[in-house]
Structure 1
Amino acid sequence: MIDLPRHVRGRPNPTGRMYFSYERFRGTKLAWPVVPLLDSPQDDSFWRRCRQCETLVAEQTAAGWAWAWVSASGRSYPLPQPRGDGGPAAFWAAVDAAEARDRTDDGQARKTFDALIEAYRGHPSYGKLADLTKRDYDRHLKAIAEVWGSEPVAALTAVDAQEAIDLRSATPSGARYFRAVLSKLLSFGAARGYCTTNVARVTEKVEHEVEPHKPWSDRAFEAFFEHARPGLHLPVYSALYTGQRSVDVVPMVRPAPGANAIELIARKTGAEVFVPIHSEYREILTRTHIDHPALHLREDGQAWTLAAYRTAWQRELTSKTSKGAPAQVSREKAIAMQTLRDGAFVFHGLRKNAVNMLLEAGNTEAEVSAIVEMSEQMVRHYSRDVNKRRLAINGMRKLEECWKETRANLFGPGAAASAG
């Protein structure tokens, strides 16, 4: 038998089903009207309703009973009748709304992190973020709310912030992003009276060297196109010839016949992208043409989703079934997939292949940036190896041009004659 909270009573109906209600001062002159509880003790919501009942206030007036919910801070919020229009469901919805409003009012009054996060999410500076960036911000904003949500922003110290960053040090990229979002939020709050300083600025920067993705080698391409399932092929060509991210490549729509460019909106940046179609890529598109609005299709003719493509990619490279068991593949395919795994060749590496090809063809960093939707700074970061090769080639060409003079100076006057 479950012990019910004070003033809560259960009654069976003719079918034996139990109904519960809150009946304060039952059997006395001060008795309140019955407040139906719509849940059973097996539900967490039942016990939450019981706790809410303790914060209700009912007063009998000349016009009838007046109901209110009173918060811990003493704020009072009027409520409808428990059995009025809309019935008990409308009453409890009003209680929940009063609680939510009180959290907002209290947070705004005390200038808490919860209130600051709500204000930031309602501001255009958050609204204009790309969807992928919002997703990453939301993950860290949620973490901030879980740690300090009900705390005043002004109470946060640099020591508190550093401890939270250090707790994430096992994943440096996550710690660095958490620190960046916290700093952004505190700067936003400082300008709006939530705090006086951005204490995250004095925390230690997270040392995190991003290892650039490797461009695919000729051997990697041969292994992939010879042994990977055909449905994975075209997105690889599209990534190579357009230089776009997988999140933009996989859902590409098929360009209209005669179109001279792939056009899309980059999901990470929200920018419009215009990529002229390379002649060889156009031939691939022509050979693989299917009357379907989506460009990248599975073997059964259905369009790939990004999640499904990534899952299929992972299973293919690891030679696993949908249940995670080893798949039965030929020895040649197993070796080919092992080559891709050992070489750390991933889909995003194709983006570096595209950047390298464009740079090696003599394009400027600005031109490459426009095609692959990447900052010029990042293009320079991606192009370090290309620039090394370019410098080496230029250096050797210059040596060839003045070789006779250099050789004579190096080996002496007789060297040229003996070499002849």
Structure 2
Amino acid sequence: MKRRAGNPFPGVTRVVDRHGKARWRFRMKGVPGTYLQGEYGSVEFRRAYDAAVAGTTALVAPSRHQYGTFDWLIEHYRRSPKWKKLRPISQLNLGKEFDRFSTLHGKKRVAALRTDHVEAIIGKKADTPAAANRLLKLLRRLCRFAIRKKLIVVDPTIDVERYQENPDGFHTWTEAEILQFEEYHGVSSKAVLALRLILNTGAARQDVIRLGWQSTGEGRIAYRRLKTGGDVDLPILDELAEVLRPLPTNRLLFVTHTGDRAYKPTTFGNWFHDQCVDAGLPHCSSHGLRKAGATRLADAGATELEIMAYLGHRTPDEARTYTKKANRKRLGDTGMEKVARAKREQGLSNRVERLDIHRRKVLKEKGN
């Protein structure tokens, strides 16, 4: 009788999932179980098997997408420790970017991506440089992860240049624009309440919609930024106290939808921009108010650490931008003042010299 050949991959069994698709499951005593990717016996399969035997993988659900595609890569990125370390708001925003990219390119193979492809993909957003650069950043994130997953060896985005964009980013509100907004809407309006909350707390849109009386105490307002996790604790200035005073004391949220419903960050951002448009300020945004608040601090002589505390950042890098601008402005003022003082002194010297000439002339005439 012919002997049956032994299993070349001990611990591997064939299973059929609920969709009727065959999967290869690895189970062995002392190591985590897992599903192996790739065709049975392929290079990818053998690599996955060796990793499983070494105990470097844990039991995960089989992939819903074809191996090597961007959909597959994104799915595995969402399972990675790197994804799990992101804050919920970052997962939400990055997830939306993944979904948009997947709709257009999800079925394409990562290994087929070349530098000219990357340039063409981001080139479709050339009219909006900031959006093009965000897409490039997303592709670089995926390509670095693809290298770790052994899908590619070289990052095709590495030589792709970023688009030149406005170095100042969102427009920073001027004091005249703040006054124009308040005069149009009125101090008792929800629009001005939102403006002064952002301006006096440095809250981003995802933070300002969570502020309420529970955030205040002993003349101060405090919250934790969702994006950075940084704690913000500031005194309530008079202009903020003016718009908070009329609000009911049992109000958990200062700024709400109709019917006291909570805003979502995107919905609040859209609503606030509509208020800007109505006030004749279509170029202004809620984020620009954070920058205006930081600019106020810098112009008043605040240090980088003081501005960092206002913005809720963990490092003073961003705050340094505002102090540098304020210092340039002050240095420009003192420099021009020196020029003006020199001109005044020069004018005085010329007048004295002309007076001396006149006196010498008069004395000479008297001597004759």
Does the TM-score normalized on the shorter chain lie above 0.5? Answer: yes
Gaps of 5+ in 1: 1-74, 80-93, 320-336
Matches within 5 A, 1:15-30: none
- 1:284 Cα offset (Å): 2.8
Which of 236, 240, 246 is equivalent to 1:288? 246
Which of 167, 171, 182 is equivalent to 1:224? 182
2:8 is aligned to none
Which of 19, 27, 38 is equivalent to 1:95? 19
Which of 313, 323, 332 is equivalent to 1:392? 332
> Cα distance 1:290–1:137, how it changes in 2: closer, same or farther (>3 A)?
same
Say whether 1:246 aligns with 2:184. Answer: no
Matches within 5 A, 1:364-379: 364-374=303-313, 376-379=316-319
| SS of equivalent to 1:202 | coil
Which of 117, 121, 138 is equivalent to 1:160? 117
> Cα distance 1:151–1:364, how it changes in 2: closer, same or farther (>3 A)?
same
Say whether 1:353 aligns with 2:278. Answer: no
Query: What percentage of residue pairs aligned between the two structures are identical?
Result: 20
> Cα distance 1:237–1:415, how it changes in 2: closer, same or farther (>3 A)?
farther
1:414 is aligned to 353
CA distance in 2, matches of 1:262, 1:284: 14
> Cα distance 1:272–1:405, how it changes in 2: closer, same or farther (>3 A)?
same
- 1:195 Cα offset (Å): 1.2
Contact kept in structure 2, 1:296 and 1:304, CA below 8 Å: no
Deviations 1:120-141 (A, max 9, x none): 2222222222334333322332
2:152 is aligned to 195
1:119 is aligned to 76
- 1:76 Cα offset (Å): 6.5
* AA partner of residue 201 (structure 2): T
- Judge which range, 170-179 or 152-161, deviates more: 152-161
Given the two structures, how large is their TM-score scaled by the length of structure 1?
0.61
Matches within 5 A, 1:237-316: 237-255=196-214, 258-269=217-228, 271-280=229-238, 283-284=241-242, 287-297=245-255, 302=260, 304-306=262-264, 309-310=268-269, 312-316=271-275
Please list every run of at least 4 consecutive aligned residues from structure 1 whose deviation after the TM superposition is greater than 6 angstroms. 99-104, 400-404, 415-418
CA distance in 1, matches of 2:356, 2:148: 79
| SS of equivalent to 1:198 | coil
CA distance in 1, matches of 2:355, 2:307: 45
* AA partner of residue 287 (structure 1): R
CA distance in 2, matches of 1:415, 1:369: 56
- 1:176 Cα offset (Å): 0.9
| SS of equivalent to 2:37 | helix
2:16 is aligned to 78
RMSD between aligned residues: 3.8
> Cα distance 1:170–1:372, how it changes in 2: closer, same or farther (>3 A)?
same
- 1:203 Cα offset (Å): 1.9
Contact kept in structure 2, 1:162 and 1:203, CA below 8 Å: yes
1:185 is aligned to 142
Contact kept in structure 2, 1:232 and 1:313, CA below 8 Å: yes
Given the two structures, how large is their TM-score scaled by the length of structure 2?
0.68
* AA partner of residue 95 (structure 1): H
| SS of equivalent to 1:194 | coil
Matches within 5 A, 1:320-335: none
- 1:160 Cα offset (Å): 2.2
> Cα distance 1:260–1:189, how it changes in 2: closer, same or farther (>3 A)?
farther
